[in-house]
Structure 1
Amino acid sequence: MLNIATLTLNPTIDTACEVERVTDTRKLRATGERHDPGGGGINVARVFVRLGGNARCYYLSGGATGVALDGLLDLHQLVRTKIGIAGQTRVSTTVHETSTGLEYRFVPGGPTIAESEWLSCLDLLAEARCDYLVASGSLPVGVPDDFYARIGAIAQERDFRLVLDTSGAALAAGLSGGGVYLAKPSIEEFRALVGSDLITEREIEEAAMDIIKRGGAEILAITMGSDGALLASKAGTLRLPAIAVETRSAVGAGDSFVAAMVYALGHGDSTERAFRYGLAAGAAAVLTPGTDMCRADDVERLFQQANAVS
């Protein structure tokens, strides 16, 4: 059986609600309130389980909000390994304005992590048993930029495949350290990584293939929102358009993409087919409101629909 684990260093309790109009000063009466466990790796695990897989969540958790996060993970029936921290787990809020269809997202920076806390995380991962480890999300304050590179070294020693979805210095260090099987930056994150605007498709392809040739990752999937996505590997590049859907929320699209692509790869699909499955999951995620993730039946429907056209 395919065995994956996810790592979330800066998890969140994701709250979502709807109001008719966002205004200042006045008390706004909200409806449709929901609370979900969130953060990159946790979101990936939620989707992976929906698709029919099993995943263990490694995550940092602390304070009263950390206890609430633990409870939400149990409600979602996710297998979890908690790394306790002194700080409070953050709470993020998404507000959908029904009169305009706009979405407002408020995301705190999160707690400061002590050296002993992130070292404990590395110690646990050094004993992890999995086929894939998905390390996803931002690094909280206190965690060194090369943290994901250190996990890459563990991946090579433990012989599991590291999937990396992060940005900034953490992404740069992770790719320079080697040991990354799949990396999934957004186009904005990729431009920041290479330090170029990358206007044309050819410029994006050349920059992506440079990462592959330098051994930064075996597979690079760059998501571009409404412009689709680009796949790069030793076999070359593939650009696919976005799957047209009605957008209800942008929350979780990238995490859904990663979960579905890893799910397909882990079940023996080709890199291209897994890429297409990830694209379908990303599109399916925007169909769901607030902090909900993609639904398996939407992923399958959109995947079949896109393949029939392509």
Structure 2
Amino acid sequence: MDHQPVVTITLNPAVDIAADVETVRPDVKLRCKAPQFDPGGGGINVARAITKLGGRARALIAVGGATGDMLATMLAGEAIDTIAVDTGGQTRQSFTARETSSGHLYRFVLPGPEWTRAADDALFEALATLLAPGTLAVLSGSLPPGAGAEIVERIEAACEKAGAALVADTSGPVLTALCARSGQPLHLLRMDRDEALTVSGRTLSTPSDFAAYGAELVSAGVADHIVIGLGARGSVGVSAAEKILCSRPVEKPLSAVGAGDSFVGAMVLALARGLAFETAIAHGTAAAASAVVTPGTALCERATTEAFIAEVETTRLA
């Protein structure tokens, strides 16, 4: 392995189903084209992106039921090193319909099974065997019902004890709680534009506005590094030493699905290879752009990402 170990953690994975339909209308049968099935969930997609980009990651996933078996089989088919813990429930599905008449995407996301004490015990037992000094652990995606911000705190504590570093990319009340914490900072916390607006409760508009908010989170001890995705405008990266914007515009985007996970995968792989934070943000930006020019739920492609890296523009923010 040419980089530090990477472990991704997905507590609420899904089998992603995507299909085309001519028009979305109410109260009638909508006859779709042949569906595409993919393993889904933030951490899973981060591990898949890392693999696509020539790296390696171990994917710790919480699964259950026949859908969970299907998910594990799909990951095995992609040669993803997977460690599964049993939730005792049925792994969820998500469905994306692309309306071909308009190009609009309709995304239906189910909640997933209730988190249980047994699943909790199995998770931390598995983590104890996976975390080691120098490991980059990536917690990405939504949390299942019944799992709150305290589970992230416990994962962070397990990382600290093992000498590992935690990268978190989550949302909702959990993200709000993480942004209110202080003390032992996360290694890196990522959010998107809308999440930053919600959590901050402010009217942020320019990249410098978002960078200033990120700098406040760093100063408060929330995380050593903050990354805020601004969609087509690029991504802001903030540490104690720098505030930057990395962008690589796409003229003809096909689908933004998978761009965020591709970004995190490429960024984490770059960090695991010992590259600087600024360079890692550029790699993530290139991978996100690569995902945007692929159809449906497809992630980044290695050749496109590598070509886009040289086209990423980095701007230092005040």
**Aligned 8 A contact 1:249 1:287 in 2:** yes
1:169 aligns with 2:183: no
Cα deviations by residue, 1:71-114 (Å, 9 ceiling, x for unpaired): 11111111111110221110101111111111111111111111
Match of 1:263 among 269, 282, 293: 269
Residue of structure 1 in register with 2:284 after alignment: 278
Of stretches 171-180 and 89-98 in structure 1, the one that deviates more from structure 2 is 171-180
Give the letter aligned to residue 112 of structure 2.
G
Give the letter aligned to residue 310 of structure 2.
Q
Query: C-alpha separation between the residues in 2 aligned to 1:139 and 1:179?
Result: 20
Query: C-alpha separation between the residues in 1 aligned to 2:28 and 2:199?
Result: 42
Structure-1-length-normalised TM-score:
0.94
Give the letter aligned to residue 97 of structure 1.
E
Of stretches 111-120 and 194-203 in structure 1, the one that deviates more from structure 2 is 194-203
Q: 1:116 to 1:286 in 2, by over 3 A?
A: same
Structure-2-length-normalised TM-score:
0.92
Residue of structure 2 in register with 1:227 after alignment: 233
Deviation at 1:185, TM superposition (A): 0.4
1:149 aligns with 2:149: no
Query: C-alpha separation between the residues in 1 aligned to 2:208 and 2:51?
Result: 37
Deviation at 1:169, TM superposition (A): 2.5
1:17 aligns with 2:23: no
1:302 aligns with 2:308: yes
Q: 1:64 to 1:124 in 2, by over 3 A?
A: same
What stretches of structure 2 of length at least 5 have no aligned partner? none
Give the letter aligned to residue 143 of structure 2.
L
Match of 2:192 among 186, 194, 198: 186
Residue of structure 2 in register with 1:205 after alignment: 211
Deviation at 1:32, TM superposition (A): 4.2
Residue of structure 1 in register with 2:201 after alignment: 195
**Aligned 8 A contact 2:131 2:159 in 1:** no
**Aligned 8 A contact 1:243 1:279 in 2:** no
Cα deviations by residue, 1:5-48 (Å, 9 ceiling, x for unpaired): 10000000001111222222333332242101000000000000
Cα deviations by residue, 1:218-263 (Å, 9 ceiling, x for unpaired): 1111001022221100112112334224221121111110000111
Cα deviations by residue, 1:105-144 (Å, 9 ceiling, x for unpaired): 1111111111221232122212313521110011111113
Residue of structure 2 in register with 1:136 after alignment: 140
Query: C-alpha separation between the residues in 2 aligned to 1:155 and 1:245?
Result: 41
1:218 aligns with 2:220: no
**Aligned 8 A contact 1:156 1:179 in 2:** no
Give the letter aligned to residue 238 of structure 2.
A
1:57 aligns with 2:63: no
Residue of structure 2 in register with 1:119 after alignment: 121
Give the letter aligned to residue 139 of structure 1.
L
Cα deviations by residue, 1:167-199 (Å, 9 ceiling, x for unpaired): 123224345263411111001112222222223
Query: C-alpha separation between the residues in 2 aligned to 1:202 and 1:73?
Result: 40
